[in-house]
Amino acid sequence: MTIELLKGNVALAEAAIRAGVEAYFGYPITPQTELLEHMAKRMPELGRAFVQAESEVAAINMVYGAACTGVRTMTSSSSPGISLMQEGLSYIAGSEVPAVIVDIMRGGPGLGNIQPSQSDYFQVTRSAGHGDYHPIVLAPASVQEAIDLMTEAFDLADKYRHVVYVVADGLLGQMMEPAELPPMQPLRKERAGWALTGSEGREKRIITSLQLNAPDLEAVNLRLQFKLAEIRKREQRSTEMLTENVRLVVVGYGTAGRIAETAVKRAREDGMKVGLFRPITLWPFPERRLSALADQVDAFLVVEMNAGQMLDDVRLAAGGQVPVSFVGRMGGVVPVPEEIYDKIEEIYVKLPVRVR
């Protein structure tokens, strides 16, 4: 394997192919279109399914159909398109079939713009369709991590028979960076015991999210909640830098996380005891580790490319033990390390005399 200079969107597409995706359905939208274009070329070459759907609504329902047959399947879009997919996502979650969705987020609300943003945090972690569930949400911060998490997304989707998002912003989607792709995985020959494959020689199988009887639907929900509790217990992921013996921890994911990393390094050089915590799973949010950090530090600073959405989760994890501040930009404006540095400094000088 070799290290290549790869664009985020292309790397995500090729990583999905190498993870064994058998069917891709999508609709063009900036800034994720290179992903769809890569699929349009590669999937037919490999004898796999590619359909440019008539809308994101159709695309996600095609994914739902393919997922019912037990193959690895996915779609990709950007914020306004993800809004349209909420219906299908809810059916996929309710039917418990595995599917992977890539969201290359852009500025909103409405048509917004095509610049990088993280304004879908609520949408992907909280409101990815009606009903009581959270999808699994993975947030890479580099092209290499995008490749690694794309592979993992399919494994998690299969393991839990659930919706898995890989979310990045337009900057990561468009960025070129050296990275290494994994080898091609062979396609699975066997289909799962729940998959629709034709009822020849066995009892028929049904995949539905419909349960008209309230106690039956409650039972479905209890099973779903049990599954989500397991995911919450086992799949919290994060990475951190310089968080030993610090007073302030900066929390940011994806692009905002790596921009914050530069600001944190500069603050360290200037003698401030600052560290970085970068969530890799946005749901389940890495609350265990962040709560533990809340016991050891004096303050958190959240950095996002939105008005402060993950901020809520950091506050919950902090549990009122430490103050939580926020710095962010909206509408497709990407924060630069300097403005994060300024905020770090502003908070740092006001930190109370240490009592612990």
Partner 1 sequence: MTMHEEIIFAGFGGQGVLFGGQLLAYTALAEEKHVTWIPSYGPEMRGGTANCTVVVSDDPIGSPVCRNPSIVITFNNPSLEKYESLIKPGGLLVVNESLIVEPPTRTDIDVVLLPATTLATELGDTKMTNMILLGALLGRRPVVAMETVQAVLLDKLGSRKAHLHELNLAALARGQEIGLAQNTEQAV
Partner 2 sequence: MVEEKVVYQRPDALCDVPTHYCPGCTHGVAHRLVAEVIDELGVRGRTIGVSPVGCAVFAYQYFDMDGAEAAHGRAPAMATGIKRVMPDHVVFTYQGDGDLAAIGIAEIIHAATRGENITTIFINNAIYGMTGGQMAPTTLPGQRTTSSPSGRDVELTGYPIRMAELLAGMPGAAYVARQSLHSVKEINRAKRAIATAFKAQLAGLGFSMVELLSSCPTNWKLTPPEALAWVEQVMVPYYPLGEYKVTDEVRALTRKQG
> Do the beta carbons of residue 312 and residue 122 sit within 8 Å?
no
Fill in the per-residue mask, 109 to 148: x = in contact with partner 1 (CB under 8 A), - = not in contact: -----x----------------------------------
Pairwise CA distance, residues 177 & 192, whole Å: 37
Pick from 40, 84, 196, 220 the residue near partner 2 by CB under 8 A.
Answer: 196
Query: Which tokens in the block code for residue 176?
Result: 């070129």
> Do the beta carbons of residue 32 and residue 74 sit within 8 Å?
no
In the complex, minimum distance from the CB of residue 55 to partner 2, in angstroms, rounded to a whole number: 6
Q: Which is nearer to partner 1, 117 or 255 (CB)?
A: 255
Pairwise CA distance, residues 252 & 303, whole Å: 5
Binding residues with partner 2: total (CB under 8 A): 39
Sign of CA dihedral 176, 170, 65, 49: negative
Kindly identify the residues of this chain, within the stretch 289-348, that bind partner 1 according to CB under 8 A.
334, 336-339
Bridge partner list, 242: none
Residue 293 C-alpha from the chain's centroid: 23
In the complex, minimum distance from the CB of residue 145 to partner 1, in angstroms, rounded to a whole number: 12
In the complex, minimum distance from the CB of residue 217 to partner 2, in angstroms, rounded to a whole number: 14
Q: Determine if 25 is a binding residue for partner 2 (CB under 8 A).
A: yes
Fill in the per-residue mask, 55 to 94: x = in contact with partner 2 (CB under 8 A), - = not in contact: x-xxx-xxxxxxxxx-x-x-------------xx--x---
In the complex, minimum distance from the CB of residue 174 to partner 1, in angstroms, rounded to a whole number: 6
Helix (H) or strand (E) holding 170: helix 170-174
Closest CA to 83 of 53, 108, 46, 54: 108
Q: Half-sphere exposure of residue 129, counting CA atoms within 13 Å on the CB side?
A: 20
Q: Which is nearer to partner 2, 176 or 210 (CB)?
A: 210
Largest CA distance in the chain: 74
200 binds, among partner 2, partner 1, none (CB under 5 to 8 A by kind): partner 2
171 binds, among partner 1, partner 2, none (CB under 5 to 8 A by kind): partner 1
Pick from 52, 221, 239, 262 the residue near partner 1 by CB under 8 A.
Answer: 262
Pairwise CA distance, residues 52 & 67, whole Å: 17
Pairwise CA distance, residues 238 & 86, whole Å: 27
5 binds, among partner 2, partner 1, none (CB under 5 to 8 A by kind): partner 1
Q: Which residues in this chain contact partner 2 in the complex, by CB under 8 A? A: 22-23, 25, 49, 51, 53-55, 57-59, 61-69, 71, 73, 87-88, 91, 95, 196-201, 204-210
